Structure 1
Amino acid sequence: MSVSPGIRVTLAVVALFNLASAVAGCVLLVLVGGDRVGMPPEWLERTPFSSWVWPGLILGVIVGGSQLLAIIAQRERCAVAWGLHAASGLVMMIWIFVEIALLLVWSPLHGIYFATGLLQTVLAVLALGAWPRPFLARMPRRSRIGRGNTADTSA
């Protein structure tokens, strides 16, 4: 199945943006420290973490790593690329959801990253063939046999 160039390019750009953001977040949280980049230690009180190191590593390895795998798979034209993009988008959305739920803090950046995860997931599902062609085509009527009735074969 052929995927439109627009979907391919958009998926690559979104994945690269998400990867760069995850790596930057990882570096800031692990090396600089969340408290030095505007994330007070009090936010960690509602989490299982005592420092920003583990959240930073999870962000870099899990969120960033899933994006990197999707990018590599797409570049190498692997059949699993679109599935990896869908999974990476879901990982991004789950990360944002859990972050908001644990920290009880919302920022416009949360909305941006949730939107990029959603966009990546939707485009990947479309790349997997979930878009009917033509879009407004009607589905064929099912036969009576298809509705659970049996055909009368007696003559």
Structure 2
Amino acid sequence: MRAIRIALMTVQSFIAITAALGGVALIVGTLLPSLATVFMPPLDYLAGSPFSSYLVPGLALLLVVGGTQAAALLLTLTRSPWSAVTSALAGFACLAWIFVQMIYIPFSVLQLVYAALGGIELALTMLTLGIWDQRRVTHRSTFVAASRSEPGRTHRV
């Protein structure tokens, strides 16, 4: 369980830091175009979106994605009873960010990486909750063999 918690906090730390840096880069690049970096996508990507600049997406990346990850990390670190809920929320926020981004921005390997990280965060959260506890998993082969052994008997799965 300790290894799972450390893995979860590692994912949360990475996403929180990179989302904060990415959000700040988008905000600064929008407010001060002379400081726009190679990390800021072309404005052409916003065509057809509800945004005319990267200011609102930058704020969303910083506050929604980075903020939920930072909150989840803090609550996981302090072993708060709210850590699992916040971790799940942070994982879903990361996935939602990537899915919405993929509507407007052409495919990038980073999108795949962050979609995987969001999924990993959700899986690790489920493991911390004991949802994937191996002792509670009933394998299909066991169920099929048991159901064929005694007709008419109900089996608890």
For normalisation by structure 2, the TM-score amounts to: 0.80
The number of residue pairs the alignment matches comes to: 141
1:84 is aligned with what amino acid? T
Identify which of 61, 64, 84 aligns with 2:66.
Answer: 64
Determine the structure 1 residue equivalent to 2:86.
84
Identify which of 44, 51, 54 aligns with 2:53.
Answer: 51
The aligned runs of 1:113-132 (5 Å cut-off) are: 113-132=114-133
Identify which of 72, 80, 102 aligns with 1:100.
Answer: 102
* 1:51-99 C-alpha deviation (Å, 9 max, x unpaired): 1111000000000110011011112211110221111111101100000
Whether contact under 8 Å (1:66, 1:88) holds in the other structure is yes
Structure 1 segments unaligned to the other structure (5+ residues): 147-155
In 1, Cα distance between equivalents of 2:115 and 2:136? 27
For normalisation by structure 1, the TM-score amounts to: 0.81
Report how far residue 36 of structure 1 moved: 3.9
* 1:15-64 C-alpha deviation (Å, 9 max, x unpaired): 00000110111111000249642511111112101111110000000001
Identity between Structure 1 and Structure 2 (%): 30
For the residue of structure 2 that corresponds to 1:48, the secondary structure is coil
Report how far residue 133 of structure 1 moved: 3.6
Name which of structure 1's ranges 90-99 and 123-132 shifts more when overlaid on structure 2.
Answer: 123-132
